[in-house]
Structures are given as structure tokens and as C-alpha cells.
Amino acid sequence: MSLIARIVLGLVKLALVVGLTGGLIDLTQAMREEAVKAHRQGIVSLKQLNLSLVGQQK
């Protein structure tokens, strides 16, 4: 009986690892797409971004 339990536990662990790996791959691809968009739009000035968020103009 313990052999069957170890096999099932091993399969559950494998499924978790495969699921987490797939999630990390999806997140990496999403980050890549966002980086490509940001690169196409040009460099974002953090100073200008901060000023626009607080509502101040130069």
C-alpha cells in the first residue's frame, strides 16, 4: 500500500512542478511582450511619470 501512496505522491509532485513551470513560462512571455511594447514606444522618463501622477507641470 505504501508503494502506491508513494507513486501517487510522486505524480502529484510532478503535476505541481509542471504546473508551476508552465505558469512561470507564461509570466515570462507576458513580461517579454510588455518589454517589447515599452521598447517600441521609447524610454519612459520616470521624472515625467512622477510629475504626471502627482498632477504637477513643469
Nearest to 56 by CA among 48, 9, 12: 48
- 8 A C-beta contact, residue 58 and residue 51: yes
Place of cell 513560462: 25
User: Tens digit of pLDDT for each residue in 49-58?
Assistant: 677 778 776 5
* Burial of residue 17 (number of CB atoms within 10 Å: 0-12, 13-18, 19+): exposed
Quick one: pLDDT band at residue 13, thresholds 50, 70, 90?
very high
Q: What mean pLDDT, rounded, does the chain reach?
A: 85
21 residue type, one letter: T
Domain boundaries, the chain: 2-54
Place of cell 509542471: 18
* More confident call, 4 vs 46: 4
Of the chain, the end-to-end C-alpha distance in Å amounts to: 74
